[in-house]
């Protein structure tokens, strides 16, 4: 019995860990809508590139930094406001950006 219980716990931990690592694109979409990122990141905007191009070939660290501290990660005079998001929320936003990214 003990082994079964241990296996179950490990399985659940595994599921939780992979969900965290990948982020939830649906939640990310809700956050992006709430934060109005598309005001600047839309086709034809001069303020920022379209949302589908944001993920680009960037790694998670660059995306996280750009979203939480654009002045430091992109350029000092950028108009993009820093978004205060938790690590989980950032992971969700990144999952969303990658899900809509043009390949």
Residues that bind ligand HEC (CB under 6 A): 32, 35-37, 39-41, 47-49, 54, 56, 58, 63, 66-67, 74, 78-81, 83, 93
User: For residue 39, which of 31, 30, 48 has the smallest C-alpha distance?
Assistant: 48
Residue whose CB is less far from ligand HEC, 21 or 39: 39
Residue whose CB is less far from ligand HEC, 49 or 72: 49
User: For residue 15, which of 7, 25, 26 has the smallest C-alpha distance?
Assistant: 7
Min separation Cβ 93 and ligand HEC, Å: 5
Residue whose CB is less far from ligand HEC, 10 or 39: 39
Residue bearing tokens 């979409």:
29
d(CA 101, CA 58) in angstroms, rounded, equals 11
């Amino acid at each position: 019995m003990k082994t079964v219980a241990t296996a179950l716990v490990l399985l659940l931990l595994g599921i939780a860990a992979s969900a965290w690592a990948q982020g939830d694109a649906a939640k990310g979409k809700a956050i992006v809508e709430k934060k109005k990122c598309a005001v600047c990141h839309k086709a034809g905007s001069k303020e920022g590139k379209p949302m589908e191009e944001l993920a680009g070939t960037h790694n998670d660290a660059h995306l996280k930094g750009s979203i939480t501290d654009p002045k430091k990660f992109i350029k000092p005079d950028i108009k993009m406001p820093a978004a205060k998001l938790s690590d989980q929320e950032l992971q969700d936003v990144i999952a969303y950006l990658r899900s809509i990214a043009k390949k």
